[in-house]
Chain A
Amino acid sequence: MCVSADPPQPGTFEELAMPLFGQLYNFAHWLAQNREEAEDLVQETYVKALRGFGSFQPGTNFRAWMYRILRNTFLTSRTGLKATMTVPLDETENGHGATVADDQPSQEALLIDRDHQNLLQAAIEELPVQFREVLLLCEVEEMSYQEIADTVGVPIGTVMSRLSRARASLRAGVQQKLGRP
């Protein structure tokens, strides 16, 4: 279930930011798909966030703020630019929770378990970055649709549409890797 993070209490930047370190690194690695780039991304994120901490509005979502900085840093990096340039946006981009033709999980999907973890990870890696990020923010970071919308900077309807298409693409990718039609 996707849940919202509590608004942060005033404290030092370190007190607020370090508990997010592991999660941010994991997300950065999924985006950059490379350890060195992920470390650069996280380091740049912390430096930028520390510099801009004075402009952070207390009471707003600190976690979403940090993820937004990381994501924007990634998108302006060489890897990020390359990743976004190769992903054409679908015309249903702004649909509200749009379902696509292959959005019906088959019973075979039940076979996705720990034995198929590598296969699933490979399928996630192959997702276009716009789909990968919303899927990970929802499923791994357990962000609410609103929090994802704040992080990614798109309307909630777009978040729902991207999530729906990410899941459908993931299922299709898994089926393909399992050698099923």
Chain B
Amino acid sequence: MACDQWRAQLDAYLDGELRTEPMRALDAHLRTCPGCAGDALARVQLKRAIKASGARFTPSPEFRNQIQKKIAGKPRRSWNVGWVLATAGLAVVLVAGLLSTYLERQNLRQQQLYSELADLHVSTLASANPVDVVSTDRHTVKPWFQGKVPFTFNLPELQNTDFTLLGGRVTYLGQVPGAHLIYQIRKHQISVFLFPENAVGLRGTSNISKERTFNVDTWTQDGLRYVVFGDVAPEDIRRLSSLLKGTARS
């Protein structure tokens, strides 16, 4: 780089406004170029002289006192508009933070519940005796639950459908007793869980989702929380859900 290009940067360099890399480069050049170093020294001298000459005028003590009296004892700006806005902003951030934490916890709780339901579904199917009441007859299965769960429910008529009721068992989710029914379609088994509404903390309304690789539908109806859980296609889950919903209403 030619010296005139280095010199064009000298003022910014001496004002402390050059970025690190150009400053280092100019530093190195000044150590090897007497011409630019002399120029830099002259500029430093001028800067010092301007600073000394520039601090020239001093207010009189009387004038200082006069201004001091005018502004003395004015209230703090603690609650002016700016601070109110800043405080409101902080409150919004705090509320957003708390809400976010709450939602995260809720989400985590839902995930834990679905995880437990997945365990119940898989462990039941893996069992040598998956159901305690073995019957394809809903009129046998439903009465079996009497006195075992704190609610009653209806089961759908499966004639003219490809679903089969295999039976049922009592289950527990978060120490809440519920009914666990097993249905079959083709070679797949689907769990249907019923719990008292709001007792187990599950949320959601009839919207098939993917939980732990299973397809799940859940809703509340007539004071009960229904969960349909299986590895079948979402459409099969939806059809069984429709049958259950239709029966519950009847």
Contact = CB atoms under 8 A, between A and B. Distances in A.
Nearest to A39: B63
A28 B26 CA distance: 36
Given A46-B70, A139-B50, A164-B11, A53 B77 contact: yes
A135 to B, nearest CB: 7
Contact of B52 (A12, A117, A160, A167): A117
Nearest to B16: A1
Contacts of A136: 54
Interface string A90-121: 00000001010001111101101110110011
A17 interface: yes
Interface in B32-67: 38-39, 41-43, 45-47, 49-59, 63-64, 66-67
A18 interface: yes
A23 B39 CA distance: 30
Nearest to B54: A140
B64 to A, nearest CB: 6
Contacts, number: 151
Nearest to B67: A46
A103 B78 CA distance: 49
Chain B interface SS verdict (over half): helix
Given A110-B42, A160-B12, A144 B7 contact: no
B73 A42 contact: no
Contacts of B70: 43, 46-47, 50
B58 A26 contact: yes
Interface stretch (A54-62, A67-75, A76-84): A54-62
Given A58-B83, A97-B12, A105-B42, A21 B59 contact: yes
Interface residues of B, number: 47
Nearest to B12: A97
B46 A117 contact: no
A99 B74 CA distance: 47
B77 A10 contact: yes
A170 B46 contact: yes
A14 B42 contact: no
A135 B83 contact: no
B58 A22 contact: yes
B17 interface: yes
B174 interface: no
B55 A1 contact: no
Interface of A: 1-3, 10-14, 17-18, 21-22, 25-26, 29-30, 35, 38-39, 42-43, 46-47, 50, 53-58, 97, 99, 103-107, 109-110, 112-114, 116-117, 120-121, 124, 135-136, 138-140, 144-145, 160, 163-164, 167, 170-171
Interface of B: 7-9, 11-12, 14-17, 38-39, 41-43, 45-47, 49-59, 63-64, 66-68, 70-78, 80-83, 86
Given A22-B58, A25-B58, 16 more contacts: A10-B76, A13-B74, A14-B68, A30-B56, A30-B57, A46-B67, A50-B74, A53-B80, A103-B7, A110-B41, A110-B42, A140-B55, A145-B15, A167-B43, A170-B46, A170-B50
